Structure formats: C-alpha cells, structure tokens
Amino acid sequence: GAKARGQVGEQGDGFLGFVMPSSDAGLTAAVAEINAGRAQAYREAAARTGVTPEAAGQATAQQLLMRLAAGQYFKPIDGSWTRK
C-alpha cells in the first residue's frame, strides 16, 4: 500500500526506499524487514551465480521496474525519484 500511496518506491539497487522521510515507525520497520529479506536473497543469488550481491540487486531492480505500476516511484542508482 505504501508504494501505491507514493511513500516508498523501488531503487536501482534493488531495495525499497522512502520517497519522502517518514515518521511512521510501522512503515519504517516494514521497509527494513523487506529490505533485509531482499539482501538475503541477493546474497544467495550471488553465491549461486558468481556475481556480487550488489549486481544481483541491480539486476532484480531492472525486473521490478518493468513490473512497477503506473504512478509508483523508482529511483535509479545515479538519479532521483521518478514517477512511472
């Protein structure tokens, strides 16, 4: 829901990020939990494929961007938040 509301978005490194700072402790905890799970998945993918976890995250980010719904936010590694 936070992605649909524009509070969080996908980043070019494969992690969720806050489009605007949030004081919602529950949302902050949820984003941290999701990102921890993603970090683990990227480490596992890296071990299987021989790439770095960072490269695995960036590859996943490209896939996530393609599936991002209209109106949601994406932030390239070297860019700023953009609404799809």
Residues with Cβ < 8 Å from 77, sequence gap 6 or more? 11, 12, 13, 58
Residue 40's pLDDT band (cuts 50, 70, 90): very high
Report the distance separating Cα 82 and Cα 46, nearest Å: 28
Mean pLDDT, rounded, for 53-65: 95
Residue 56's pLDDT band (cuts 50, 70, 90): very high
* Whether residue 1 has pLDDT greater than 90: no
Q: Which of 1-5, 51-55, 58-62 is predicted least confidently? A: 1-5
Contact 47, 38 (CB under 8 A): no
Mean pLDDT, rounded, for 61-77: 94
Half-sphere exposure of 6 (CA within 13 A, CB side): 7
